[in-house]
Structure 1
Amino acid sequence: MNADFWHGKWQRNEIGFHEGRPNHFLVKHADRLEAGAGSRVFLPLCGKTRDIAWLMGRGARVAGAELNRGAIEQLFAELELAPEVTAAGPLERFSAAGIDIFVGDVFALTPAHLGPVDAIYDRAALVALPADVRRRYAGHLRGLTGGARQLLISYEYDQSLAKGPPFSVQAREIHALYGADYQVQELETAPVERGLKGLSEVVERIWQLTPRGD
């Protein structure tokens, strides 16, 4: 997936990945992040997700990364916040009280620009990436955040029947990507209502990733 693919999706408003309400798994399992009021939660490839407003409503501070500038302009408009826009290396930082979103290539984001985070919430980032990028991404997040605890959502379906994104990421791959550095626990599995990409048999899983040694 290249940048033009995602910019085109936003330009054409082909954003079926955008949920119009906070994610049901997040609402149910957010306490697993151990990110109370004042904690900072990082959302990679965040788009304009409603999960940001929900987390902020709980008192969390939010950091995010998103490729498309228009998505973040829409996000701040929907939050009714006027961002301060500054440079962060090759990225742009959109900031307001309790929120910092970095616009550009997530792989260009550095720990110095991101700053400390207490937890990661990954709803639509890992599954947006093809297989040859996912290992690099998982390692990049560890380096960015010092191995912060995570909630991760994945999909499973017969990849031969449909192209991603979102891609099918099997449980064994989750363990292979994260198991060396995290205790990997599956919290819940549920069928995707109304299916996905025209497929009726799609499973959604939420995982808790706890740094080893915690």
Structure 2
Amino acid sequence: MANDWLKRWREGRIGFHRDATHPALVRHWPALGIKPGTKVLVPLCGKSLDMRWLARHDHPVLGIELAETAIQCFLAEGQGEVSRYRQAGFSVWRQGSVELWCGDFFHFHIEQAAEIGAFYDRAALIALPEATRQRYAFHLAQLIPPGSRGLLISLTRAPGDEGRGPPFGVAAEEVRELLTPNFVVTHLEDGEPEAGSGFRESVWALERRGPRT
């Protein structure tokens, strides 16, 4: 899986990348009530322009990405000085209020997540095969403190095509099954099916459960 992901970036096979901020982020993020200054975790971030939108709206961003190529593209397309350092086995780049950690999301642990108070997943869960999604949901929950909120954008595929990917189709029932043990899960909207692809996006608000939630 990791080798395939790195190969996709080397070869430029990144049809999942959007050349504009995701409209669902613009529509739904303000309603989450996340305070300005709250640091947002963006797992498997690629070179998403959504990170720049979050930064412009007063949120420091911590993106985690396996492919250094994606990080270098993001930095090259941005503005401002870039600093680089090592942290807990990760190479980290900073440009403005965006930090990009290059490495395996599953090797990022709570000690590094101390300042995180929100999260955004547009293409992480759907990038993972079924066998890995349970592990992802559990690990994400370990990094997010109780009461923290975030946005998840999943997608479904045409019937019979669900196992192909990435991106993989993740049905609404699976989203709830994976995340409800640790999050309050609220379905916000379903998009229209994309012509020619059979993809249909769904948007979810999540809130990390506390001890008595």
Provide the TM-score with structure 1 as the length reference.
0.91
Report the CA distance between 1:60 and its aligned residue: 1.2
| Counterpart in the other structure of 1:63 | 62
Please state whether the residue corresponding to 1:174 is helix, strand or coil: helix
Name the CA shift for 1:105/1:23 in 2 (closer, same or farther; >3 Å): same
Q: SS at the partner of 2:116?
A: coil
> How far apart in 2 are the matches of 1:153 and 1:68?
21
The 8 Å contact of residues 76 and 82 in structure 1, kept in 2 or not, is answered as no
| Offset of residue 37 of structure 1 | 2.3
Q: Does 1:105 align with 2:128?
A: no
Higher relative helix content = 1
1:195 is displaced (CA, Å) by 4.1
Shift of 1:84: 1.6
Structure 1 runs not aligned, ≥5 long:
none
Provide the rounded CA distance (Å) in 2 between the counterparts of 1:91 and 1:177.
27
Shift in Å, 1:123: 0.1
Task: For 1:145 and 1:180, locate their aligned partners in 2 and report how far apart those are by CA, in whole Å.
Answer: 14
Q: Are the aligned partners of 2:127 and 2:165 in contact in 1 as well (CA < 8 Å)?
A: yes
Deviation at 1:76, TM superposition (A): 1.4
Instruction: Say if 1:35 and 1:60, in contact at 8 Å, map to a contact too.
Output: no
Listed as ranges, the gaps of 5+ residues in structure 2 are: none
- Contact map agreement 2:39 2:116 (CA 8 A) in 1: yes
Please, which of 199, 203, 209 is the counterpart of residue 206 of structure 1?
Answer: 203
How many residues align structurally? Answer: 209
Q: CA RMSD in A?
A: 1.7
Task: Return the letter of the residue paired with 1:154.
Answer: S
Give runs of aligned pairs for residues 127-138 of structure 1, distance below 5 A: 127-138=126-137
User: For 1:14, what is the secondary structure of its paired residue?
Assistant: coil
CA distance in 1, matches of 2:193, 2:90: 34
**Equivalent-residue separation in structure 2 for 1:57 and 1:78 (angstroms):** 15
Instruction: Report the Cα distance in structure 2 between the residues aligned to 1:120 and 1:60, rounded to whole angstroms.
Output: 11
The list of structure 1 runs, each at least 4 consecutive aligned residues, that deviate by more than 6 angstroms after superposition, is none
Any idea what SS the aligned residue of 1:30 has? Answer: helix
Distance change >3 Å, CA 49–CA 111, structure 1 → 2: same
Q: Are the structure 2 counterparts of residues 28 and 203 from structure 1 closer, same or farther at C-alpha, using a change threshold of 3 Å? A: same
Work out whether residues 159 and 167 of structure 1, in 8 Å CA contact, stay in contact via their aligned partners in 2: no
Question: Residues 22-75 of structure 1, C-alpha deviation per residue, up to 9 Å, x if partnerless?
Answer: 001101001133233211111100011010111111111111100011111111
Give the C-alpha shift of residue 159 in structure 1.
5.6
With the length of structure 2 as denominator, give the TM-score of the two structures: 0.91
Cα drift, residue 86 of structure 1 = 1.2
Match of 2:177, SS state, is: helix
Q: Is the CA contact (8 Å cut-off) linking 1:116 and 1:145 kept in structure 2?
A: no
Distance 1:78 1:53 in 2: 11
